[in-house]
Structure 1
Amino acid sequence: MTDISAIDAPIIDLGVPKGARVIVAMSGGVDSSVTAALCKLSGYDVVGVTLQLYDHGVAIQKKGACCAGQDIQDARRVSEAMGFPHYVLDYESRFGEAVMEDFADTYLAGATPIPCVRCNERVKFKDLLETARDLGGAAMATGHYIRRVVGPNGPELRRAADASKDQSYFLFSTTKDQLDYLRFPLGEMPKAEVRRIAGELGLVVADKPDSQDICFVPEGKYASVVERLRPGAAEPGEIVHVDGAVMGRHPGVIHYTVGQRRGLGVATGDPLYVVRLDAENRRVIVGPREALLVSRMHLKDVTWLGDGEGADAARAGTGVAVKVRSTRPPAPASLLWDETSPTGWAVELAEPEEGVAPGQACVFYSNDAANDRVLGGGWIAGTRTAA
């Protein structure tokens, strides 16, 4: 086996004794493969685990996707090359119920789902983490680009050093108990360095492209997956202007998202955008761009990773920075306790943002120059426009 001193790569300190068993979640990509390899070369008793999340059955018609087919074979080949055991666990039914069914139902309800968060929340960091403990793991490591830093009050979640690869938005629902057990060895590394190490180790995945789409959605065609999972559930309805005028018909709300401009099928002199989806009445509400501006969000299923109690922080009107899309930078905002919110939790944006939709996540970050620490987040249950 390769000696880590023979290559230019960091020795990983996971905060558990050398020789301790570490379970590594392996998707078959370069990130988790390098994570496992570095843990092994740094002296840990590594066990690689890959989840088989689905086959290519009625709902899925996509090749080369995460945790299916070739990816499982790639994870096995890396494990064999590095000399540690590798197991494949059949989580297909759990993934289907916890992620894919939720995806379909969320779209049918007129909201915008984020299945990658649900997968981390309900499968990888819940069921797999419990399996890792059953396997005798002192910790579980993943290839996510995010940092775990031990602060004065315990482990903290912080944004990745490589801002272009930061995955903190998708991990906001990680709990404090889970964070005690999880490790993220790549959080301090740029992606180019990870690929370089993979190449130097001769891993078969060194040049493997990153996955760009949601793993079970072929070519970004969300509606086709929903229609396969819920045949006949999409019903046509009216396209209605925010002023109440009926402007046309649509084939089903699942074909639209808040902020969408193209493909509306209605023509006016001014550009129109999808402002809101009224699934109960099968209506797509459209309007001018300024109608998209949102100033307040009501949240549900909030996770708090900051110090103290999250509800106290909200009642105090604590200043934070928030992201409502993974690709947007953190923006100034305040946590609020709003009695009109179903759960009490609300966020007021310092400057209104457009394209904010129920079903998306609102992630809290520290209100400092770096906006570095992840304080938690919640799912957007409702919005209030700036007007």
Structure 2
Amino acid sequence: MTTQTPDSKPRALIAMSGGVDSSVAAWLMQQAGYDCTGITMRLTRNETLGQSGFHTCCSEKDIEDAAEVAYAMDIPYEVLDFTADFREQIIEKFVRVYEAGGTPNPCIDCNKYMKFRHLLDWARAHGMEYVVTGHYARVEQDEATGRFLLKKGLDEGKDQSYVLYNLTQEQLAHIRLPLGGLHKTEVREIAEQHKFVNARKHDSQDICFVPDGDYARFMEDFTGKHYPAGDFLDESGRVVGTHNGAVRYTIGQRKGLGLAMGAPVYVCGKDMQANTVTVGPEEMLFDRIVYADEVNWIAIPELTGPLRVTARTRYHQVEQAATVYPAECGFRLEFDQPQRAPTPGQAVVLYQGDTVLGGGTITRVEK
């Protein structure tokens, strides 16, 4: 990192996705006296994916919008090509997890490997102190311990702390999240006041490389494989129908099964080796114990004994009361009440109040 002289401005790299949030984050940092440079990461190419890229992030249209906002703000702007790294670290892992029977979370991996690793490295190499994003979360430093803390965004409906649980102390020290104390309505108002081209742009809703939501079709196109049909089984192991390939189903799924069994059934399990999908009543989906590995602690250096927490096993889930215990490869989380469909491959994030304690990747669940 460069050392600032008293009369120089701190330098910040603004990760500009082309959306309204990152554009307003750039404006707020400029107003706060930072010397800003806008950067868009090119992660995929639309023609490679066979997609228009509409309503995703990092499309050609997003690059145009980000460039226009940067021009209006009179700040330098560049597009950095990370398509090869994104393919290797995000897309290929996405395919591996689905093929192993899990449900991946590529947006969390993208934050970990792409946004806050590659961008921070690039910022340092170009003499910039901070990486800034439009996430709705807050970073604060604990005066007593000196540790950097990740806290929920004040707009509960937009809080994105769940997808940032992998941030390290080193990264948190050099990250600025200027939207953490704002509500989305305030952000759009700022964008409209300054006539940003994306002031009313829809938020991206889908995984950027699967914007139509058809994961299995994308995987078949990407790998050249065909995922064959197999047996639907009931909870006793009896064949009750034929599925279209086990990778096409997720734990807890009800729609699209094509089964007439006299009562609603849900996907309760998958055996990828046998290519079977087990279905059953909703009560089969509930588990109380979750094991996690690939753990990252933020508010504490490590877990040395049981702690009371609240936890989410899905992005927008309401937090649930639980106790976390150290385990050999990570932690064991015991919920006070059974939870619906905690799924291997997904993140489980632990909170104490509005502070992220840490989190990990779900490896298995128990009743």
Q: TM-score range by the shorter chain?
A: over 0.9
Alpha-carbon shift at residue 57 of structure 1 (Å): 3.0
Alpha-carbon shift at residue 98 of structure 1 (Å): 1.1
In the alignment, which residue of structure 2 is the partner of 1:197? 190
Match of 1:186 among 179, 191, 206: 179
In the alignment, which residue of structure 1 is the partner of 2:14? 24
| Residue identity opposite 1:151 in structure 2 | D
Contact 1:141 1:183 in 2 (8 A): yes
Q: Deviations over 1:79-108 (max 9, x none)?
A: 111111001100111111111111112111
Match of 1:177 among 170, 173, 178: 170
Count, aligned residues: 359
Matched-pair identity in %: 40
Alpha-carbon shift at residue 219 of structure 1 (Å): 2.4
Contact 2:323 2:333 in 1 (8 A): yes
In the alignment, which residue of structure 2 is the partner of 1:116? 107
In the alignment, which residue of structure 1 is the partner of 2:78? 87
The reply on whether 1:158 has 2:140 as its aligned counterpart is no
In the alignment, which residue of structure 2 is the partner of 1:329? 318
Instruction: Give distance in 1, aligned partners of 2:232 and 2:97.
Output: 20
Contact 1:117 1:170 in 2 (8 A): yes
In the alignment, which residue of structure 2 is the partner of 1:213? 206
Instruction: Give distance in 2, aligned partners of 1:330 and 1:149.
Output: 21
In the alignment, which residue of structure 2 is the partner of 1:45? 35
In the alignment, which residue of structure 2 is the partner of 1:373? 355
Match of 1:68 among 56, 59, 75: 59
In the alignment, which residue of structure 2 is the partner of 1:384? 366
Contact 1:60 1:217 in 2 (8 A): no
Contact 2:20 2:191 in 1 (8 A): yes
Alpha-carbon shift at residue 18 of structure 1 (Å): 6.6
Contact 1:365 1:374 in 2 (8 A): yes
Alpha-carbon shift at residue 231 of structure 1 (Å): 2.1
Instruction: Give distance in 1, aligned partners of 2:107 and 2:50.
Output: 16
Contact 1:303 1:378 in 2 (8 A): yes
Q: Deviations over 1:37-81 (max 9, x none)?
A: 111122111011110111113434133331120111111111111
The reply on whether 1:54 has 2:44 as its aligned counterpart is yes
Structure 2 SS opposite 1:348? strand
Match of 1:319 among 308, 312, 317: 308
Contact 2:14 2:22 in 1 (8 A): yes
Instruction: Give distance in 1, aligned partners of 2:341 and 2:187.
Output: 34
The reply on whether 1:128 has 2:119 as its aligned counterpart is yes
| Residue identity opposite 1:172 in structure 2 | Y
Instruction: Give distance in 2, aligned partners of 1:194 and 1:169.
Output: 20
Instruction: Give distance in 1, aligned partners of 2:284 and 2:141.
Output: 43
Instruction: Give distance in 1, aligned partners of 2:213 and 2:9.
Output: 43
Instruction: Give distance in 1, aligned partners of 2:291 and 2:7.
Output: 44
Contact 1:294 1:352 in 2 (8 A): yes
Instruction: Give distance in 2, aligned partners of 1:121 and 1:293.
Output: 30
Instruction: Give distance in 2, aligned partners of 1:237 and 1:345.
Output: 35
Instruction: Give distance in 1, aligned partners of 2:220 and 2:109.
Output: 20
Instruction: Give distance in 2, aligned partners of 1:177 and 1:307.
Output: 14
The reply on whether 1:359 has 2:345 as its aligned counterpart is yes
Alpha-carbon shift at residue 223 of structure 1 (Å): 1.6
CA 241–206 in structure 1, closer or farther in 2 if over 3 Å, else same: same
What root-mean-square deviation, in Å, do the aligned CA atoms of Structure 1 and Structure 2 show? 1.5
Alpha-carbon shift at residue 233 of structure 1 (Å): 4.3
Contact 1:55 1:68 in 2 (8 A): yes
Instruction: Give distance in 2, aligned partners of 1:50 and 1:124.
Output: 10
Contact 2:252 2:285 in 1 (8 A): yes
Instruction: Give distance in 2, aligned partners of 1:124 and 1:259.
Output: 31
Contact 1:18 1:44 in 2 (8 A): no
Alpha-carbon shift at residue 135 of structure 1 (Å): 1.4
Contact 2:295 2:330 in 1 (8 A): no
In the alignment, which residue of structure 1 is the partner of 2:261? 268
Alpha-carbon shift at residue 325 of structure 1 (Å): 0.9
Contact 2:119 2:131 in 1 (8 A): no
Contact 1:258 1:357 in 2 (8 A): yes
Instruction: Give distance in 2, aligned partners of 1:126 and 1:338.
Output: 28
- TM-score, scaled to structure 2: 0.94
Structure 1 SS opposite 2:310? strand
Alpha-carbon shift at residue 25 of structure 1 (Å): 0.6
Alpha-carbon shift at residue 344 of structure 1 (Å): 4.4
Deviates more, 1:41-50 or 1:330-339: 330-339
Contact 1:62 1:216 in 2 (8 A): no
Unaligned runs of 5+ in 2: 1-5
Contact 2:19 2:201 in 1 (8 A): yes
